[in-house]
Amino acid sequence: MSKKFVFSFGKNQCEGDGSQKYLLGGKGANLADMVKLGLPVPPGFTISTEVCTYFYQNGKSYPSELKSQVESCIKNLEKDLADTGMKFGDRKNPLLVSVRSGAPVSMPGMMDTVLNLGLNDETVQGLIEQSKDSRFAYDSYRRFIMMYSDVVLNVNTSYFETALEHKKADLGLDLDTELTDDHWKSLVKEFKSIVVEQTGKTFPEDPMEQLWGAIGAVFSSWMNPRANTYRKINNIPEHIGTAVTVQAMVYGNMGDDCATGVAFTRDPSTGEKKFFGEFLVNAQGEDVVAGIRTPQPINEESFNDQNKHLPTLAKVLPIAYQELVALYQKLESHYRDMQDVEFTIQKGKLFMLQTRNGKRTAAAAVKIAVDMVKETLIDKKEAVMRVTPEQLDQFLHPRLDPKAKKDLLAKGLPASPGAVSGKIVFDPDTAETWVKEKKEKVILVRIETSPEDIHGMHVAEGILTARGGMTSHAAVVARGMGKTCVAGCAAIKILMEQRKMVIGNREFQEGDWLTLEGSSGEVIAGKVDTVTPDITGSFHEFMEWVDDVRKLKVRTNADTPADAKVARKFGAEGIGLCRTEHMFFDPERIEAVRQMILSDSRAEREKALAKILPMQRKDFFEIFQEMRGLPVTIRLLDPPLHEFLPHDEKDVRALAKEMDVPYEQLYRRKETLHEFNPMLGHRGCRLGISFPEIYRMQVRAIVEAACELKKKLNQDVEPEIMIPLIADWKELQYIRTYCEEEIQKVFQEHNVKVPYSIGTMIELPRAALTADQIAASEKGNAEFFSFGTNDLTQTTFGLSRDDSASFLGTYSEKKIFPDPFVSIDEDGVGELMKLAVQKGKGVRGSSMKMGICGEQGGEPRSVHFCHKIGLDYVSCSPYRVPIARLAAAQASVKNKAL
């Protein structure tokens, strides 16, 4: 038997249903579904997505079985409509069809549709006879020629629109509906000669030829630039293909008892439970969205400023409206989700043409999910799956006030969400002085950002760059900081010398107000009002369910008490990475740090360290206080020491003077610290091997702070002391031994004990490969592992994160591999992680704590992976904590731990 490629839907035969979206496309699958539910749907058939795959694999040709299967489905369709007597291509009583695209994932408006197919100079006469309405017949005919020429013959619609405008102008008419049959008839002639002019061929008269032309055009539209871009932005794979649905026409353009419209079963912007939609009388297809006439509200709930004076569908066609209300409720309870429906009313009778899960804003997604649980339509686990982590990210940031006017200048990439306004500044130092001294709000505008801009980014409300993609420095850093960012906005030109920015023909000086909307990438002139999200109510309830469902804990990466506080508010369950080097950079301490680095002897070094000790202890005390009751992982000093020294000669001289040492001595010391490849140099635990006194001081500061918390406030924390960059268990054993010694001393001195543990980062492939030795109590004795996936990715790929931006873009374009610093590379880095988990738990038992502290810890796909390999927690920047909580919950709904 030959393979089945075409599936009928109708009264006599209905093949397929809503579960077959990947075969029939969303549209085709749901049309079959609606037929089965007994809804009024014009019959038709769907050509499967497998034909699309075949089409592209075989030089745009079709499987040999297709022709006969399509022909027999047309026979089916005619049988279904037997009581009307309509036949495809029949001169007396022609059956017209629409040819519609439908991908498995909805891509609204991205591909093409042709309506009224089957008309030619002869069948149009049949249509006139049957409908007794020649105006309607010619209106349908001209629409068909326009759409077919556009979609299939690639003739730009503007030629036809111009001809139509001229006609109306000649006649002194405003509206399309005022044109008579004779007007349309003469336009049809004009349209056909336009086709001959533009293509050198006559318009195809044979309905069968028209049909195959349209089918081919819909399959071809799968690869049009619009669709390609949409797929890229929304991460929709190319291989899934589109289906083609051929469906009997119903007519919304047959007079004043006819209409066409679209509706949402709930408000897509607020989520409110109200039936909501628009329609047009005596119209067809996309007229509603095309903006030719102002659409009318379907009911009073759909009133807005533009349409509230227009009569509603409930008034104009009450019977059809009532039926629509009954049907939408049926559809919502069937799909158990908000639906976006398309309908047409022909001579007072309602037909459903499409239903799909409606697109919605983040706020609506949360509200609808929570409401539907209360309505017992869905359970809590399903509710958790109804909001995407990206939506949550948008939800948590301020939005533009929907009522505010906006003067849109340009669009860039939506790199980091939130709506913010501030004064334009062009460099990080100006940003800092304006904010700190003038108490201004600023937007940092740069061609692109680099690590030297961090201080400016930190104080700015938002960041706008002219170059760079979604993983550019600006984008990544801004997301980490929870700052709004619009990146890669090619429309802006920055004239650094003149300190101004040009967009199109408009100029902006430093100090002018600018607004950014990071969820849409909009760049707006002036200051626009924003609204802050309401995180009580539905959101609060939703997050409670999220926490009930998830198994993974979510911690935060925080170096300061302020960050810890924010993170705790967002639901962090501890700190997964507290870096200590930021504390060293503090202007008040850097001097002591530099003395320590430049010391020639251990005694001198210890003297400098003694100055740092109380400051570090204070830092830890404050962080512990914020995180009371929760675990806090502190990483001992990690970067190479020369990072703390000045780079320029001028600064080195100044420092020499300040420290009262000869410049040459300082310079020499700096030279000896120089490294060709600092990333792989004298850093991490290697510092702890060379200078035990540094780590001893840090461990003392940590444990003293915990003892103090216990004694003064009777509060507990669980300090987890983390040793970075371990490659071999002996490094850990050596460091651990002296750390333990120091800790015991502290306990004795303070006469109190606190729980603590010592573990390691797994950030080198060798550490992963020898994780059993690192964990074994008689060897490395690591009590926990934390996967430092930034370095682990760098060292597994042999790829420097800071230097890879310039070529990783090309890698993604050429589909070699995606940027591994965004989402964990499961095949390589992920395998190492899996291995380390197995080896670690193998020797210490399943209770051994494992987590991730790399940047990917807040990225939903990576969170899923961490769940799958059985980690205990993920750790991410404070603003991503709720997103990680949701991703963790979705991971546990989707798959059980391995």
Q: Which residues are the active-site residues?
A: 473, 853
Near Mg ion by CB under 5 A, which window of 649-657, 762-770, 813-821, 877-885? 762-770
Q: Are strands 575-579 and 631-635 parallel, antiparallel or unpaired?
A: parallel
Which of 252/820 has CB closer to ligand ADP?
A: 252
Which residue, among 182, 210, 193, 117, has the nearest Cα to 159 in the 3D structure? 193
Give the Cα separation of 768 and 774 in Å (integer). 9
- What is the DSSP secondary structure assignment for residue 307, as one 8-state letter? T
Task: Give how far Cα 146 sits from Cα of 96, 162, 220, 383, 664, Å.
Answer: 16, 12, 18, 44, 82
Which residue, among 44, 63, 43, 38, has the nearest Cα to 52 in the 3D structure? 63
Q: What string marks each residue from 19 to 48 as x (binds ligand ADP by CB under 6 A) or -?
A: -----------------------x------
Q: Smallest distance, Å, CB 824 to Mg ion?
A: 15
Please choose which of ligand ADP, Mg ion, none residue 140 contacts, taking the beta carbon within 5 to 8 angstroms, the exact cut-off set by kind: none
Q: Are 598 and 669 in contact (CB under 8 A)?
A: yes
Both tokens assigned to 664: 């040459």
Q: Looking at 49, 69, 242, 247, which residue binds ligand ADP (CB under 6 A)?
A: 247
150 near ligand ADP (CB under 6 A): no
Near Mg ion by CB under 5 A, which window of 387-395, 446-454, 789-797, 859-867? 789-797
Give the Cα separation of 630 and 638 in Å (integer). 24
Both tokens assigned to 180: 């008579």
Which of 354/361 has CB closer to ligand ADP?
A: 354
354 near Mg ion (CB under 5 A): yes
113 near ligand ADP (CB under 6 A): yes
Q: Smallest distance, Å, CB 293 to ligand ADP?
A: 15
Give the Cα separation of 261 and 283 in Å (integer). 9
Which of 111/187 has CB closer to Mg ion?
A: 111
42 near Mg ion (CB under 5 A): no
- What is the DSSP secondary structure assignment for residue 349, as one 8-state letter? E
94 near ligand ADP (CB under 6 A): no
Near ligand ADP by CB under 6 A, which window of 100-108, 476-484, 503-511, 878-886? 100-108
226 near ligand ADP (CB under 6 A): no
Give the Cα separation of 81 and 77 in Å (integer). 6
Please choose which of ligand ADP, Mg ion, none residue 42 contacts, taking the beta carbon within 5 to 8 angstroms, the exact cut-off set by kind: ligand ADP
342 near ligand ADP (CB under 6 A): yes
Near Mg ion by CB under 5 A, which window of 28-36, 341-349, 382-390, 740-748? 341-349
Which of 354/556 has CB closer to Mg ion?
A: 354
Q: Smallest distance, Å, CB 410 to ligand ADP?
A: 27
Dihedral (Cα; 454, 456, 462, 466), 10-degree rounding: -80
Which of 8/394 has CB closer to ligand ADP?
A: 8
What residue type is 355 in one-letter code? T
Give the Cα separation of 643 and 806 in Å (integer). 24
Give the Cα separation of 279 and 294 in Å (integer). 9
Interaction with Mg ion in 811-840: which residues (CB under 5 A)? none
Q: Sign of the CA dihedral 279, 281, 285, 290?
A: negative
Q: What is the CA 568 to chain-centroid distance, rounded?
A: 24
Cβ partners under 8 Å of residue 183, min gap 6: 167, 171
Q: Looking at 10, 25, 43, 285, which residue binds ligand ADP (CB under 6 A)?
A: 285
788 near Mg ion (CB under 5 A): yes
Please choose which of Mg ion, ligand ADP, none residue 286 contacts, taking the beta carbon within 5 to 8 angstroms, the exact cut-off set by kind: ligand ADP
Interaction with ligand ADP in 439-498: which residues (CB under 6 A)? none
Near Mg ion by CB under 5 A, which window of 37-45, 250-258, 572-580, 788-796? 788-796
List the end-to-end C-alpha distance of the chain, in Å, as a whole number: 41
Which of 17/278 has CB closer to ligand ADP?
A: 278
b (16+ CB within 10 A) / e for 551-561? ebbbbbbbbbb
Residue ranges with strand state E in 560-616: 575-579
Which parts of this chain interact with Mg ion (CB under 5 A)? 342, 354, 763, 788, 791
Which parts of this chain interact with ligand ADP (CB under 6 A)? 42, 98, 100-101, 108-109, 113, 115, 247-250, 260, 285-286, 342, 344, 353-354
